[in-house]
Amino acid sequence: MNVDREGRFDLSFVKHLTGEVPKLVQKGDVLFNNTNSPELIGKTTAIPIDDRMAYSNHMTRIRLEDGMSSVFTAKQLHFLWMSGYFLHRCKNHVNQASIAAEPLAKTVPFALPSSREQERIADTLDELLSDLDAGVAALERVQKKLKHYRAAVLKAAVEGDLTADWRAQHPDTEPASALLSRILTERRRRWEEDQLRKFREAGKEPPKNWKARYREPQLPEKPNSPSLPDSWIWTNVDTLSVPPIINGISVKGSDSPPGIAALRLSAMSENGFDYSKRRWLPLREKDVDDLWIEDGDFFVCRGNGSKKLVGRGTTAQEPPDAVIFPDTMMRLRFVPAIKETRLFPVLWASSCARTQIEKAAKTTAGIWKIAQPDLAKIVLPLPPLAEQEAIVEAVEAQLSVIDHLEADIAAKLKSAKGLRQSILRHAFTGQLVRQYPNDEPAAELLKRIATERAERARVAASARAATQSASKQAKPLMKKAASKRASKST
């Protein structure tokens, strides 16, 4: 639709037609969005330019009488949309909603001032909203720059640039290769403990050579990425996590107990979980023994309709009670050296990881998904343990400033939205501009419009009558001419 959320005429996306075009608009017409999702029904704009343009059947064209301002009319209808008026008055279908032309014309309330006051209101709205739009655009530009700055901070963190001075001041730091050796030892120890626990629970003795089943992680080859500091190494998710990577469970549940509490995907955010967003599954505790959420677990979204959101991750905070995670998530657990420094979320949010995630994601029926094997292969840098703490401290310091600025901008944008609605509300309740007693009253405007319509109807009726009369008179002549042609032919 070529109407944005602020009621502006938007030609950033157009289709080009060939041949005869039956539905044309002209400068001064008003376009009303009659078919869309219920939340978007009613967006309205005025056509501000002279050009040969058509409109689709998802739009209703309103061609106004003389004395009516197209800007005033469009802004008032769009204000009704902003206020939610059309949301509760549209006709809902399977995937969309609509408002037909007749109820739009006959049931929608419309405040009508004099012609001159309409023009004064339109001019004042243009001035005030143009200034407001400029301010909003400036805030949105800053908002966009902050996103780039956030990405730049994370990129500098995972490439070592953010802590270059720290390394210069700590030349004797233990290298990451030593940390990796401890991680691999701890990783194997954790696996063996888990296997022994399972044997005990099953009432079985460990079989001969059971330790040989342990799978050593395969370290990655050096990727085609910027070189790392000398004390860093390349590793991957499989190496850093304690096996196995686990999917949640998919069982039909209910919105209330009894059952096992399980989070919904909507519980996941960048800052952990909202543990109130849950459902209850008809399972026993022993059925979900591996799925209980623990403080410090890292979770990855397995699928999403947006490629940019698939694979997003978060670190779980301490749950208030026992709760498991759904099959829409995968869980990673780390050895203490990785878990305690809190570096992994920084690595995961960086472009280094995101690029690999989006490359590995595959789509099925419009849903992007990432599988466990692809997740395990994602290559990440591993800094020395001491430097990890310095990285996290530096990142948190910079991101906290960005968070504060983003929150401030979000508040200002929300305030701007409220100001826009306030301006429009004043405009259509007679409070925005001065009213002049010498203006032609709106009642006179309506009388004049009614008179002009009646005259047009009279002229049209006369034209139809003349056409019918001429046709009636022509029939005998045509019949006589046809008879003469027939006589000559014989």
In the block, tokens 């003389």 appear at 66
- Global pTM reads 0.81
Compute how many other C-beta atoms are within 10 angstroms of the C-beta atom of residue 226: 12
The answer, yes or no, to whether residue 348 has pLDDT greater than 70, is: yes
Q: pLDDT tier at 489 (50, 70, 90 boundaries)?
A: low
- Both tokens assigned to 224: 């085609």
CA-wise closest residue to 324 among 243, 246, 244, 255: 246
pLDDT at site 12: 86
CA-wise closest residue to 256 among 239, 278, 235: 278
Percent of the chain with pLDDT over 90: 81
pLDDT at site 484: 75
Q: pLDDT tier at 210 (50, 70, 90 boundaries)?
A: very high
- Model confidence over 413-457: pLDDT tens digits? 999 999 999 999 999 999 999 999 999 999 999 999 999 989 998
Residue 131 carries which side chain, given as an amino acid letter? D
H helix count then E strand count, the chain: 12, 21
More confidently predicted of 474 and 292 = 292
Q: pLDDT tier at 381 (50, 70, 90 boundaries)?
A: very high
Q: pLDDT tier at 482 (50, 70, 90 boundaries)?
A: confident
- Both tokens assigned to 326: 């759904």
* Whole-Å CA distances, 157 to 66, 162, 312, 395: 64, 5, 18, 7
Compute how many other C-beta atoms are within 10 angstroms of the C-beta atom of residue 29: 19
- Both tokens assigned to 109: 């309330």
Q: pLDDT tier at 487 (50, 70, 90 boundaries)?
A: confident
- Model confidence over 31-70: pLDDT tens digits? 999 999 999 999 999 999 998 899 999 999 999 999 999 9
Lowest-confidence region among 95-99, 240-244, 471-475 = 471-475
Lowest-confidence region among 199-203, 223-227, 235-239, 362-366 = 223-227
Terminal Cα-to-Cα distance of the chain (whole angstroms): 65
Q: pLDDT tier at 9 (50, 70, 90 boundaries)?
A: very high
Cα separation, 46 vs 26, in Å, equals 10
Cα separation, 328 vs 301, in Å, equals 6
In the block, tokens 């005990």 appear at 200
- Both tokens assigned to 371: 């599988």
On whether the CB atoms of residues 424 and 82 are closer than 8 A, the answer is: yes
Q: List, in sequence order, every residue forming a beta bridge with 247; answer none if it has no partner.
A: 330
Cα separation, 280 vs 263, in Å, equals 9
In the block, tokens 């003469």 appear at 484
pLDDT at site 73: 98
More confidently predicted of 222 and 210 = 210
On whether the CB atoms of residues 328 and 302 are closer than 8 A, the answer is: yes
Cα separation, 409 vs 150, in Å, equals 15
pLDDT at site 364: 87
In the block, tokens 């901070």 appear at 153
pLDDT at site 382: 96
Q: Mean pLDDT, to the nearest integer, of 137-165?
A: 97
pLDDT at site 490: 61
Q: What are the start-end ranges of the E strands in 165-259?
A: 233-236, 246-247
**Domains observed in the chain:** 1-110 (3.90.220), 219-383 (3.90.220.20)
Backbone angles phi, psi at 366, to 5 degrees: 85, 5
- Model confidence over 78-105: pLDDT tens digits? 999 999 999 989 999 888 999 999 999 9
Q: Which residues have CB under 8 Å from 211's CB, separation 6+?
A: 192
On whether the CB atoms of residues 274 and 317 are closer than 8 A, the answer is: no
